[in-house]
Amino acid sequence: MLPYHTLQEAQVALGRELSLAETLWFKYSANKSDFVLHCHNTLFLCLFYSIFSIPLVLIELSGYEKLNKHKIQPRVKRSFTEMFKCYKDVMQTFVIAVSPLQIISYPTIKWIGIRTDLSLPSVWEFFWQILVYFVIEDFSHYWMHRMLHCKWAYEKIHKVHHEYTTPIGLSAPYAHWAEIIILGIPSFLGPALVPGHITIYWLWFILRQLEAVENHSGYDFPWSPTKYIPFYGGPAYHDYHHYVGGKSQSNFALVFTYCDYIYRTHKVTFVILND
Ligand SMILES: [Zn+2]
Ligand SMILES: [Zn+2]
């Protein structure tokens, strides 16, 4: 919660006019506790997971040839009932595992110093900080994901996520509740090591959702902006990991592929022939 009651009070305290973004942030956050702002993350998680997945569901159901020709494993078609079941299961896991985790992690958020004040980060700060979060998560996620492929962890936990040998956008967070918690650690590590403003924290988790949904989309669209990101794995790369399933000992990378190259777990990726 901001320590000012009015915009004028804030301007006097800062000794300058507020920018438009700061004014909007004041109007939105002034009367909300830091706990409520922190809990927005769960709301954004459910909201953006749904928003990013809807177009993919519509493409799958429409059977529209111009888009469906980019499907990575075209033989498998999903019905509305199947996709809705996946959505329902994921939402259940969000309620059972993610929401309580968000609530109990609040003291940690305060302790590491995620701030909610009026000094909003610049565009460059957003960019660099989120890039650092991606790199930190990528490295730690690689090893945790690889660990989940050992016999015990795979059978007890990771097998659930691999039920989808042909992933769909909705199946991105489809996993055992324990996996959601385990792989939540690498996502949280970046903000913990390099804490910033809560708006960066929100945007980070929103972009992670977008990336996860795209990676599990089952479509390799040639016009996707992520094609221009160096070392970006993409959907075809992760699709192969799911296609091989339990025996998979390759393509563990989440976003960038450099860990797979360095630790020699890089294998082939799907290539769409009917361009
Ligand atoms: Zn896996
Ligand atoms: Zn996956």
Residue 168, pLDDT score: 95
Distance 174 CA to ligand 2 centre (A): 8
Per-residue pLDDT tens for 110-166? Answer: 899 999 988 899 999 999 999 999 999 999 999 999 999 999 999 999 999 999 999
Helix (H) or strand (E) holding 54: helix 34-62
Ligand 1 centroid to Cα of residue 91, in Å, is: 21
Predicted pLDDT of residue 275: 42
- In the reported structure, the alpha carbon of residue 255 is separated from the centroid of ligand 1 by a whole-number distance in angstroms of 13
Distance from residue 68's CA to the centre of ligand 1 (Å) = 25
Please report the pLDDT score of residue 244 as a whole number: 85
Lowest mean pLDDT among 10-14, 177-181, 225-229: 10-14
Q: How far is CA 174 from CA 164, 169, 211, in A?
A: 9, 10, 15
Confidence at residue 80, expressed as pLDDT on a 0 to 100 scale: 95
Quote the pLDDT of residue 270.
Answer: 61
Ligand 1 centroid distance, CA of 222 (Å):
25
Query: What token pair was written down for 71?
Result: 């499907």
> How many Å lie between the centroid of ligand 1 and the Cα of residue 252?
6
Ligand 1 centroid distance, CA of 90 (Å): 17
- Ligand 1 midpoint to CA 150 (Å): 10
**pLDDT for position 272:** 52
Inter-CA distances, 181 with 52, 73, 97, 189, Å: 22, 29, 7, 13
Query: What distance in angstroms lies between residue 142's CA and the mean position of ligand 2's atoms?
Result: 12
The pLDDT tens digits for 64-111 are 888 888 999 888 889 999 999 999 999 999 999 888 988 888 999 889
Q: Which ligand is nearest to the CA of 167?
A: 2
Per-residue pLDDT tens digits for 216-273: 999 999 999 999 998 899 999 999 999 887 777 888 988 999 999 999 888 766 655 4
- Kindly give the distance from the C-alpha atom of residue 262 to the centroid of ligand 1, in angstroms, as a whole number: 18
Q: Alpha carbon of 7 to those of 27, 84, 158: distances in Å?
A: 8, 46, 50
What separation in Å is there between the alpha carbon of 142 and the centre of ligand 1? 10
**Integer Rg of the chain from CA:** 20
Minimum-distance ligand to the CA of 153?
A: 1
How does DSSP assign 144-169, residue by residue? HHHHHTSHHHIIIIITTGGG-SS--G
pLDDT reported for residue 152: 95
Ligand 2: distance of its center to the CA of 19 in Å?
Answer: 41
What is the tens place of the pLDDT at every residue in 29-73?
Answer: 988 999 999 999 999 999 999 999 999 999 999 988 888 889 998
Distance of CA 271 from the midpoint of ligand 2 (Å)? 18
CA of 32 to the centre of ligand 2 (A): 36
Helices (H), 63-174: 65-68, 80-93, 99-104, 106-112, 123-148, 151-153
pLDDT at 12 over 90: no
**Which amino acid does the sequence have at 206?**
I
pLDDT at residue 273, rounded to an integer? 47
How far apart are the CA of 265 and the centre of ligand 2, in A? 16
User: What is the reported pTM?
Assistant: 0.90
pLDDT band at 274 (very low <50, low <70, confident <90, very high): very low
Structure confidence at residue 195 (pLDDT): 94
**How far is it, in rounded angstroms, from Cα 260 to Cα 268?**
11
